[in-house]
Amino acid sequence: MNQISRKLCLVIVSAAVIFAGCTKKPRPTPADTSAMGSNSSLLPNSMGNLTDASANTLQPRTDGVIEDADTIRGLLVSVYFDFDRSAIKKDEQAKITAAADYLKKTPQYRMMLEGHCDWRGTSEYNMGLGDRRAQGVKKFLQTLGISADKLQILSKGSLGAIEKGTAEQMEKDRRVDFVILKK
């Protein structure tokens, strides 16, 4: 019995030591992660290597639209969501209809739907919520006659969200952006 007690104590102490070392890491701010972009191994293969030469291919525009050889951002207005919701509000549906009309007028292009969240919530939860928001917009576009092969989904979660921002800033973080894909 004494030997069993010793083994039990050893197991309990070992477990306590192991779990005491496990602490939740603080979430990095966007400023902390901006240096990661310079490491080309972190970039998706589809983007290739971004160099100073490729940065010069951006076409400056006065209307807030950012265009490069592969994408157009900011041409279509983002769809905004309520806190912790992925349901599309009635007053946001016209924006999705405008995106569908654009794709019908420009059949050579496709569209990526980027789902975003504000900073509240875990990274995993926010990635899922961003995905649900983008999926909801995709389904709405499909009901408007847009083929699924014209649409891609990308959840950014809370990446780029303003941590501890004002209510107005957080409202702008809860969105789906339309990125037009030229290729």
Nearest-angstrom CA–CA distance, 55 and 48? 13
In a domain, 65, yes or no: yes
Nearest-angstrom CA–CA distance, 112 and 116? 13
pLDDT, average across residues 117-132: 96
**Structural domain count, the chain:** 1
In a domain, 36, yes or no: no
Quick one: CA dihedral 115, 95, 81, 169, positive or negative? positive
Nearest-angstrom CA–CA distance, 105 and 126? 33
Task: Please tell me the predicted confidence (pLDDT) of residue 52.
Answer: 47
Per residue in 51-101, pLDDT (tens digit) is 444 444 555 566 789 999 999 999 999 999 999 999 999 999 999 999 999
Residue 110's identity, in one-letter code, is R
For residue 144, the domain's CATH number is 3.30.1330.60
In a domain, 52, yes or no: no
In a domain, 170, yes or no: yes
In a domain, 16, yes or no: no
Task: Please tell me the predicted confidence (pLDDT) of residue 96.
Answer: 98
In a domain, 12, yes or no: no
pLDDT, average across residues 100-110: 97
- State the CB neighbour count (10 A cutoff) for residue 129: 23
In a domain, 145, yes or no: yes
Residue 89's identity, in one-letter code, is K
pLDDT, average across residues 133-156: 97
In a domain, 38, yes or no: no
Which pTM was predicted? 0.67
**Residue 108 pLDDT > 80:** yes
Q: Are strands 79-80 and 110-116 parallel, antiparallel or unpaired?
A: unpaired
Residue 62 structural domain: 57-181
